Amino acid sequence: MIIVLKHGSGEAEIEEITTRLKEEGFKVHLSQGVEKTIIGAVGDRTRLQSLDLEALPWVEKVVPILAPYKLVSREFQPVDTVIRIGPHTIGGDEVHMMAGPCAVESRSQLLETAHAVKVAGATFLRGGAFKPRTSPYSFQGLEEEGLRYLAEAREQTGLLVITEVVDVRDVKLVAEYADILQIGARNMQNFFLLKEVAKVNKPVMLKRGPSATLEEWMMAAEYLMDGGNYNVMFCERGIRTFETYTRNTLDLSMVPALHALSHLPVIVDPSHGTGRWQLVQPMAKAALAAGADGLIVEVHPQPEKAVSDGKQSLTPPNFKLMMQELSRLSSALDRPLKGVVG
């Protein structure tokens, strides 16, 4: 529920309400705007009755949040969350491109790709060091060696790093190297992993599970925020439907839906969302038009030789062409594509 204070309420009034709420076992979250101050309280609603907060002269109203997700909801925080990562912000007016190979295969492969996507205008380098695969016989990733290559690429190019963490035992290790931790689609409802990642002071990108509903996805984000990590962004990467031509069905309706229901940024992955490199550019454009705060795509110098997801990976030249097209579109939308020059 949220407690809306009257205009002019000061620190003493805020402190009194906060103290009362904490004494009753509520988790308290403060949002101070220009016009109003809102105190979010997560806990047992029945215990609010004894507090009788609406009797306080500086309390305007107490509003229950009826949705099962609380911290994630737009009701709880009306203002958009803007995540600051190094020199960049995600969730504001800027649009960011995260690009790189599905899997870190070698030092040379990663560095070549990193330099190419940097020149084309990417601001984040994606690459999997730990790879959860459908088949146990498929390439599983270079693990810490791959993380070291990502760190080296960041040092050489200035690109910030996003990479997936797949196991609670590896959270601290991955956090030492990554600027953003990715929770993959298969782990969206791995609640033990979500709780562990919530303890790390790093932004988190939460991918949608292949069969997850909007509410299930938002509840997964609630685990992260309830655990203390408020720098969370959603990533729509397609869902499983009856269609077999594409790898998944990219559900772009989720972009405006999430923006309506939640204050968190939304990223779109047209690579996994389609599984075909020819479809990545048009769906990336559609994602921007739908209001996405960023894109994450797969780029490989030799997709035909990629150990994973070659069919959906762009070559560096194709990626450069796409960035030029996206730059023109983002200008028309008055949301600059960060990193693109000219």
Instruction: List, for residues 316-325, the tens digit of each pLDDT value.
Output: 999 999 999 9
Kindly report, residue by residue over 69-107, the tens digit of the pLDDT: 889 999 888 899 999 999 999 999 999 999 999 999 999
Q: Phi and psi (nearest 5°) for 290?
A: -80, -10
E strands in 66-179? 83-85, 88-90, 96-100, 124-126, 160-164
Q: Which helix (H) or strand (E) holds 274?
A: helix 270-274
* pLDDT for position 34: 61
- Whether 68 has a pLDDT exceeding 70, the answer reads yes
Task: Write the Ramachandran bin of 261: left for phi over 0, alpha for psi from -120 to 50, otherwise beta.
Answer: alpha
Q: DSSP readout, 162-225?
A: EEE---GGGHHHHHHH-SEEEE-GGGTT-HHHHHHHHTSSS-EEEEPPTT--HHHHHHHHHHHH
Architecture of domain 2-63: 2-Layer Sandwich (3.30)
Pairing of strands 204-207, 232-236: parallel
Q: Which helix (H) or strand (E) holds 266?
A: strand 266-268
Q: Where in the chain is the domain with CATH 3.30.70.1140?
A: 2-63
User: pLDDT band at residue 310, thresholds of 50, 70 and 90?
Assistant: very high
Q: What residues contact 112, with CB distance under 8 A and at least 6 apart?
A: 301
CATH 3.30.70.330 for domain 83-332, yes or no, is no
Q: Select the more confidently predicted residue: 215 or 35.
A: 215
The mean pLDDT value for 234-238 works out to 98
Q: What is the mean pLDDT of the chain?
A: 92
Q: Select the more confidently predicted residue: 4 or 114.
A: 114
3-class secondary-structure state, position 39 = strand
The pair of three-digit structure tokens given for residue 25, joined into one six-digit string: 């076992």
- Whether 277 has a pLDDT exceeding 90, the answer reads yes
Under a CB-based contact definition with an 8 Å cutoff, are residues 218 and 205 in contact?
Answer: no
Q: Where in the chain is the domain with CATH 3.20.20.70?
A: 83-332
The pair of three-digit structure tokens given for residue 189, joined into one six-digit string: 């409802």
Q: Select the more confidently predicted residue: 270 or 45.
A: 270
3-class secondary-structure state, position 236 = strand
Q: Phi and psi (nearest 5°) for 74?
A: -65, -30
The mean pLDDT value for 130-143 works out to 69
